[in-house]
Amino acid sequence: MQHEKFGEKDFQTIIGNLLRYGVWISLSVAFLGGIVYLIHNGSHIEDYSVFKENDRNIFEVITAVYNGAIQGNGSYLIFVGIILLFLTPVLRVLLSLFSFILEKDYLYVGITLIVIAIIITSISFGFSH
């Protein structure tokens, strides 16, 4: 019995499914959060005339979002949906990296590592002042 090699077509199928299901899951979570938010805050009018800056670091934000989502807070559920939507293409880049490593396409491994470094840098500086 011959073992089949895990090929590029398999990675393309996985990446396609990741993008498809990632978008649907993030949309579902955000939609559920919107429903919960409207049930609890539907009559509340938010005051957007004053911008409130957030001075928390990334770990405090992640902890707050996690705790809020676990408690069923609608606004945090919406935020989880947005985070999932953001992470979907990031995971695609990571899967592409593994695909390029298996294919021994080192030019694209290098390019993908640069893209990952840019993403990490952007996230890091986006939450620091």
Model confidence pLDDT, tens digit, residues 71-101? 999 999 999 999 999 899 899 999 889 888 9
- pLDDT over 90 at 127, yes or no: no
Supply the pTM of this predicted model: 0.73
pLDDT over 60 at 128, yes or no? no
Domain ranges of the chain: 9-40+55-126
Q: How far apart are CA 127 and CA 41, in angstroms?
A: 28
| Chain mean pLDDT for the chain | 84
pLDDT band at 1 (very low <50, low <70, confident <90, very high): very low
Contact 40/74 with Cβ under 8 angstroms? yes
From the list 122, 96, 124, 123, the residue with the least C-alpha distance to 109 is: 96
**What's the pLDDT at 23?**
93
Cα separation, 107 vs 43, whole angstroms: 55
Q: What is the DSSP code string of 38-79?
A: HHHHTT-----SS-------HHHHHHHHHHHHHTT-HHHHHH
